[in-house]
Amino acid sequence: MNPIVILKSVSFSYGGPTVLEDVDLAVEEGEFLGLVGPNGSGKSTLLKILLGLLEPSSGQAQVLGGTPAQARGSIGYVPQFAAFPHDFPISAGEVVLQGRLGNVRLFGGYRSEDREIARQALMETYVWDLKEQPIGSLSGGQLQRVLLARALATQPKLLILDEPTASIDPRAEEDIFDLLKKLKSRMTILVVSHDIGFISQYVTRIACLNRTLVCHTTSALTGEMIQQLYGSPVRMIRHTTR
Amino acid sequence: MSEFFHALASQDFLQTAFIGGLLASIACGVMGSYVVVKHMSFLAGGIAHAVLGGMGVAYFFGKSPISGAIAAALVAAWVIGWVSLRWRQTADTIIAALWSVGMAVGVIFISMTPGYNVDLMSYLFGNILMIPRTDLYIMASLDGLIMLTVLVFYQQFLAVCFDEEFARLRGLPVDFFYLLLLTLVALTVVVLIQVVGLILVIALLTLPAAIAAQYLRRLAPIMALATILGMFFTSGGLALSYTPDLPAGATIILVAGTVYLLSLLVTGLARRRRC
C-alpha cells in the first residue's frame, strides 16, 4: 500500500494556544477517511496544513510523496459551503471550469480539452443540466455537487472535502455521499465532518480529532469513543432518512 | 434639451465633455463591475481620495494634475492592496487613514501654491466641461490598457474575485492578479475623476454595475450593460445640466442615483410579486 498522506507529530498554533498537538496520521491509497471532531478541534487547520496553506509549527506533513504545496496540483478541494458570496454573477459551468485554472490560456480562455474535462465532471455529479444556471439560484445540495464537480475537474489523486454537507438537507447529504462512494475506487478521499453517525456508514476509516488524534478505527464507533472524543457523555442518535 | 444638442453640434468644449463622458463610461463599466462583485467600494474610495495628494503635489510643482493623479492612484492602490493581502483585519483602518491623509496632503499643497485656488473644487467635484482635449487621449489610452488587460486575464480575474483560496490552490499567483486588478481600478478612478471629481467617483464607479447586476447573472454581460448605463448617465447628466447651468458632475451622479433607486424599487416589487 502506498501512503498518500503522512503526518508525523504535527503541531500547530496560530501564535496562541496549540490548535493541533502531536498528530500522527497515515492515509493509504484508496482509503475513504472520515475526519471527525467537535467544533474548534482543529479539523480545518489540519486541512489547511494538508493543502499547504499553513505550515506546521513542528513536525512534518507529506502529501503524495512531497510537500503539501508541491502536491496541490493533484489535490481536489471542496471548501465549506460559505467560502464565497452566493450572489456572485457566475454560472455553475464557469465555476467547474475553474478546476482547470492551472491550464488556462491568456487569450481565448479555456482549451477545448479542459472544457471536455469540465463536462465530464458536471455529468458525473449530475449537474450538467444546471451548467448555465447562476450559482445563486442553486439549492444547497446542487451547489455542493457543483463544487464537487469543480474539484473533480482538477483530476485529483486526493479529494479533500471540508464539511460538504453542513448546510444541506439529509436527502442531498445522502446523494453527495453516494457520489463519493462511487469515486472511492478512483481516488483517495478525506472528508471532514462533525456528523459521525452518518458518515460511519460510508467511510472505510474514521479518525477522531480533538486537538490531537483521539482515535481511529475501521470498526463501528462505540459510545465510549464518542465520549472520549467530546470529553463528555454524548447520546448517539442514528439518523435515518429513508 | 434641444438647446443642448444645438450647442453640442457647434461647441468644441461640449464635444470634448461628451466624448470624455463616453470614454469614462468604458472604464467605469468594466472595472466598476469588479468593484461591485468583489465588494471593494471602500477600497476604491480610499484610492480616489488619496489621489488628491498626488494632484496637489503636481499642481504645486506646476506639473499636470492628471500625471500626479496617476502616480498617487497607483501608489495608493499598491499600498492598500499589499496591506489588505497581509493584514486583512486592519486593512479597513489603513484604508481610512490613507483616505484622509491623501486629502490632507492635497489640500496643504494646493493652499501653498500661489495664485487663485479655483482648481480645488474641480478636483473634488470634477469639471467635465473643462477637460483639456489632450486629456481625452490619456483617457482613451487608459481605457485601451484596461480593456486589453481584462480581455487577456478575464478568467484569472474571475477566479480571484470568486474564490481566492481555490485559485491559490490551483497555482494561480493570486496576489499578483489582485494587485493588478487594483491597479486597473486605480487607473479607472483617475479617468472618472476627470468627469465627476474624486468625491463623487465611487457613485459613478459602482452604480451602473450595481444596476446591471440586478438584472444579469454573468460578469461579462454586467460589464457591457454597466458601460451602456454609464454612457447614458454621463451624457444624460451633461445634457440635463446644460440649460439650467448646474454642475455637470453632480447632475450625472443624481441621474445615476435616481435610476438606481428606481431599479431597486422595480426589482423589489417584482420579487415580492413572485413570492
With an 8 Å Cβ cutoff, is B167 touching chain A?
A: yes
Q: Is A231 helix (H, G, I), strand (E, B) or coil?
A: coil
Closest CA to B181 of B16, B21, B10, B30: B30
pLDDT number for residue A235: 54
B217 interaction partners in chain A (CB closer than 8 Å): 89, 91, 134, 136-137
pLDDT number for residue B176: 95
pLDDT number for residue B216: 93
Q: Which residues contact A189 (CB under 8 A, 6 or more apart)?
A: A31, A32, A33, A158, A159, A160, A161, A180, A183
- Shortest distance between the Cα of A7 and any Cα of chain B, in A, equals 20
φ, ψ of residue A237 in degrees (nearest 5):
-120, 130
Residue B99 lies in a domain: yes
pLDDT number for residue A237: 53
- Please state, in angstroms and rounded to a whole number, the distance separating the CA atoms of residues B92 and B97: 9
Mean pLDDT for chain A overall: 84
What does the angle CA B217 – CA B223 – CA B225 come to, to the nearest 5 degrees?
80
Contact between chains at B154 and A109 (C-beta distance less than 8 A): yes
The answer to whether A208 and A214 are in contact (CB under 8 A) is yes
Reported as a pLDDT band with limits 50, 70 and 90, residue A242 is: very low
With an 8 Å Cβ cutoff, is A73 touching chain B?
A: yes
- Please state, in angstroms and rounded to a whole number, the distance separating the CA atoms of residues A232 and A196: 15
B152 interaction partners in chain A (CB closer than 8 Å): 106-107
pLDDT number for residue A78: 92
Residue B9 lies in a domain: yes
Helix (H) or strand (E) holding A46: helix A43-50
Interface probe for A, chosen from B89, B166, B180, B219 (most Cβ of A below 10 Å), is: B166
Size of interface A-B (CB pairs under 8 A): 76
Contact between chains at B165 and A83 (C-beta distance less than 8 A): yes
pLDDT number for residue A91: 94
Please give the CATH number for the structural domain made up of A3-87+155-230: 3.40.50.300
A101 interaction partners in chain B (CB closer than 8 Å): 155-156, 159, 167, 170-172
- Please state, in angstroms and rounded to a whole number, the distance separating the CA atoms of residues A32 and A188: 6
What does the angle CA A63 – CA A65 – CA A66 come to, to the nearest 5 degrees?
70
Interface probe for A, chosen from B149, B174, B217, B222 (most Cβ of A below 10 Å), is: B217
Interface probe for B, chosen from A67, A81, A98 (most Cβ of B below 10 Å), is: A98
- Please state, in angstroms and rounded to a whole number, the distance separating the CA atoms of residues A137 and A237: 33
Order across the sheet with A3-13: list the strands. A18-28, A3-13, A58-63
What does the angle CA B42 – CA B160 – CA B35 come to, to the nearest 5 degrees?
25
Residue B275 lies in a domain: no
- Check which CATH number belongs to the domain holding B84 and give it: 1.10.3470.10
Tally of structural domains, chain B: 1
What is the mean pLDDT, run by run of 10 residues, along chain B of 275 residues?
Answer: 83 91 94 94 92 90 87 94 84 90 92 74 83 89 94 93 91 93 94 87 94 94 97 95 90 95 91 74
What does the angle CA A73 – CA A82 – CA A102 come to, to the nearest 5 degrees?
20
Contact between chains at B156 and A104 (C-beta distance less than 8 A): yes
- Shortest distance between the Cα of A106 and any Cα of chain B, in A, equals 5
A137 interaction partners in chain B (CB closer than 8 Å): 217
pLDDT number for residue A219: 59
User: For residue B198, what are the domain limits?
Assistant: 2-270
Provide ipTM, 2 decimals: 0.85
Give the β-pairing of A3-13 and A158-162: unpaired
- In chain B, what is the greatest distance between 2 CA atoms, to the nearest angstrom? 63
- Please state, in angstroms and rounded to a whole number, the distance separating the CA atoms of residues B242 and B251: 10
Q: Which three cell numbers stand for residue B212?
A: 446591471
Residue B109 lies in a domain: yes
The answer to whether B233 and B204 are in contact (CB under 8 A) is yes
- Please state, in angstroms and rounded to a whole number, the distance separating the CA atoms of residues B63 and A42: 57
Q: Which residues contact B245 (CB under 8 A, 6 or more apart)?
A: none
Least confident of A47-56, A58-67, B58-67, B95-104: B58-67
